[in-house]
Structure 1
Amino acid sequence: MSPSTSPRFFTEREVARHCTEDSCWVLLGTRVYDVTAFLRRHPGGQALILGRSGKDVSREMEGPPHRHSENARRWMEQYYIGEVDQDSDSDKLQTLRDRRKANQQMEEKAEITAEIKEKEEDPHNCCSIVDLDKDLVDWRKPLAWQVGHLGEKYDAWVHQPVDRPIRLFGNPFMEASTKTSWYWVPVVWLPIVFYFCWYCYTSLAKGTTKIAITSDFSVMVHKYTFLIFFLMGWFLWSFMEYCIHRFVFHMKPPAHNYYLITLHFLLHGQHHKSPFDGSRLVFPPGLASLVVVAFYTILCTLLPDMIGKSVFAGGLCGYVVYDMIHYYLHYGSPKKGSYMYSLKAYHVKHHFEHQRAGFGITSMFWDRPFNTVIPDEKFES
């Protein structure tokens, strides 16, 4: 609801009726919010919101045990739908309802007219018109070429998440290449993982693989060592995952460098701006293949052939698990008390409150030695 739109009015009884997964409303004072779309995304689980549906959640927002961040409060405003009318006079309430109905009809007519005009004038339109002074960018147009002009405002802007689709490019082919459904990651990469596992194990099983220690002495590599090398690759990937996320994805581009700002936004900034864009939660296979090929080349150069390939198989498997877990942390509903439950809460805090910490996705292991652990804080009340 835009600031210029007259607020809709509801009775407390009307608000209380919206207490299901299909329609969940909450109050902040007299302000009414329809948080149905956020239920599955809530890091503490949808049960926490459903248990307070139709009620005032001001105390829960302030804490304890968890005081919600400014980003979380800003995010909630996207679900604002109106106000509670506390006047019990039926005649006045009916008048308010009639006025609300008339306003809705006028607004719908105006929106349809504006939408038609907008589509005719802008072929790249994908979102509603916004206040450019407030949002800094024109959401009706591709963002890739706009963000570089934000300069020193970029870092603060990109870390203020919104719940809306993002269009990066005007060209349909380029835009489509930036989007990937989650299932393409296992479909593309798991067959390669299985092939390398089979190839390395059967090759080691022949008993002909040796590691030369000196010109006169070599050690036989047993087939059962494949599992050790595989797990070493997985462990190595977990370190790469942390380093890429922290030092590449969360680099702070210079405010005067248009190209580095644009690159950062394309690599990871767009994910922080719109963290629930389901089409951009995993890496497109084309982009990921550059990293995969580099990883394979380095391993096979530094390590003996069969060992390098065994480590590569484990690393590639670790990458697939990483992408699947990352998708699940945004859209899954893990069981309360489980490891994935705590991991989801940890990752959502990274998005909404601690963008300079919490870089581990599949685990918090590397955050500890590098001192980037997000302070422990319970989400339950």
Structure 2
Amino acid sequence: MIYYTEKEIKEEIEKGKIIILRGDQVYDVTDFADRHPGGKEYLVKHVGNDVTQQMQSETYHHHSLAAYTILKKYCIGNLMQKNVNLRHRNGTVKNGTVNGTANGISHSNGTVHSYGHSVHHDHTFPDDPIDWNEPILFQVPKLGDRYFDWVHRPVDGHLRLMKSEICEYFSQCPWYVVPLVWIPVVLLMLYTSYSSLQDGPCSFAVTLTKGIPVTTYHMPLLFVIGFLLWTLDEYVIHRWLFHLCPPSNYPVVMILHFLFHGQHHKAPMDKVRLVFPPVPAAALGVLVYSVYCLFMPPTMALTVFAGSISGYIVYDMIHYYLHHGVPYGSYFKSLKRYHVKHHYQDQQKGFGISSKMWDYPFGTLIKE
């Protein structure tokens, strides 16, 4: 174990390190600060301080078991207590000096380290059958009935899903890909719908014998309806598809669940596994458009669907912002706190991401 004096900790902080204490343990969370679910500013605020009480409080920063597990990864040693004598196997350590070497520490192998960095990899799952040195997507069926519990125990880090470099590349998605891909699709849909309606209105059936003619003048209203419909689509997909507990006797279903959403809950701070890659997003898009076509003519459905895709773009940008941005304004600050609770405290509530609206009528609101 590496020991640090208060002076050494202060020197590291002056170099720009974000170091916090919990009891007599010392943590260097500099690399983690930008991914901290509560925001970097809260770690900066407590630099050099003991955060035990803050982590145990019932206020905004009540921390889950996952938080303590993730924190272990950044433990770099213990705080050297004043006037404590420690025994090195080759000599005496007194007040941080090993055989005349300052800032030293005895390891089990007898070596002396100065300002060392120790990282603990603890995945907090008993008898975890996952080999973390290998791609994990096709390993998840090994978990069987324990999968749902395992996937909701977050870890800090990047997950490699597939062995193939090509497949792995397309399974990841930077945030800016979403608007780059889908805004042109929205414009194409609107143009196609507009061109079709210019040739002649379509009829939206109100009854079996009577319909309402839909023209280009109705497109703005249809677009807004589609945008609002997305908020319901978002809730329904998130709750009843992404948070479905996959049956352990269907490995394919388990793999698909992990691919679509389980990976995000397992590694919620992974920047390239947050927004939806275009291929699975397109698959869900076809499903949503098909449902719309059951209730309205395809030309009309195109405009409504263009509005829904616009809602999806906004949703994915908000989702990324809540995880990796510093929210500005009371609405986004509240939404970030809400979504953090969904990931780390109550994963079976709080299914609204861009809005809490549908959590109210469906009874899944997480209380502040």
| Maintained 8 Å contact 1:359/1:372 | yes
CA offset digits 1:74-120 (Å, max 9, x no partner): 22212111110012579531227233593449x99xx9xxxxxxxxx
| Maintained 8 Å contact 1:71/1:353 | no
Query: Which residue of the partner structure matches residue 123 of structure 1?
Result: none
Query: Which residue of the partner structure matches residue 32 of structure 1?
Result: 26
TM-score (norm 2): 0.84
Higher alpha-carbon deviation: 157-166 or 302-311: 302-311
Query: Which residue of the partner structure matches residue 99 of structure 1?
Result: 105
**2:55 matched to 1:61?**
yes
Map residues 236-275 of structure 1 onto 2, 5 A cutoff.
236-275=229-268
The one of 124, 147, 169 aligned to 1:176: 169
Query: Which residue of the partner structure matches residue 347 of structure 1?
Result: 339
Q: Aligned equivalents of 1:153 and 1:143: distance in 2? A: 15
Q: Aligned equivalents of 1:74 and 1:216: distance in 2? A: 63
SS at match of 1:36: coil
Query: Which residue of the partner structure matches residue 122 of structure 1?
Result: none
| Maintained 8 Å contact 2:69/2:124 | no
Q: Aligned equivalents of 1:20 and 1:341: distance in 2? A: 30
Query: Which residue of the partner structure matches residue 308 of structure 2?
Result: 315
Query: Which residue of the partner structure matches residue 322 of structure 2?
Result: 329
The one of 79, 83, 105 aligned to 2:78: 83
SS at match of 1:302: coil
Query: Which residue of the partner structure matches residue 196 of structure 1?
Result: 189
Residue type of the partner of 2:6?
Answer: E
Higher alpha-carbon deviation: 93-102 or 222-231: 93-102
Identity of aligned residues (%): 39
Higher alpha-carbon deviation: 304-313 or 12-21: 12-21
Query: Which residue of the partner structure matches residue 114 of structure 1?
Result: none
SS at match of 1:146: helix
Q: CA deviation at 1:31?
A: 0.6
| Maintained 8 Å contact 1:281/1:327 | yes
SS at match of 2:235: helix
Once superposed, what is the RMSD of the aligned Cα atoms? 3.2
Map residues 16-55 of structure 1 onto 2, 5 A cutoff.
16-19=10-13, 22-55=16-49
**2:178 matched to 1:185?**
yes
Residue type of the partner of 1:168?
Answer: L
Structure with the larger RCO, 1 or 2 (CA within 8 Å, 6+ apart): 1
Q: CA deviation at 1:59?
A: 0.9
Q: Aligned equivalents of 1:189 and 1:212: distance in 2? A: 27
Q: Extract unaligned runs of 5+ from structure 2.
A: 85-92
TM-score (norm 1): 0.81
Q: CA deviation at 1:37?
A: 2.6
Residue type of the partner of 1:93?
Answer: G
Q: CA deviation at 1:272?
A: 1.1
CA offset digits 1:242-287 (Å, max 9, x no partner): 1111111111123444333323222211111111111111222122
Q: Extract unaligned runs of 5+ from structure 1.
A: 1-6, 112-127, 377-381
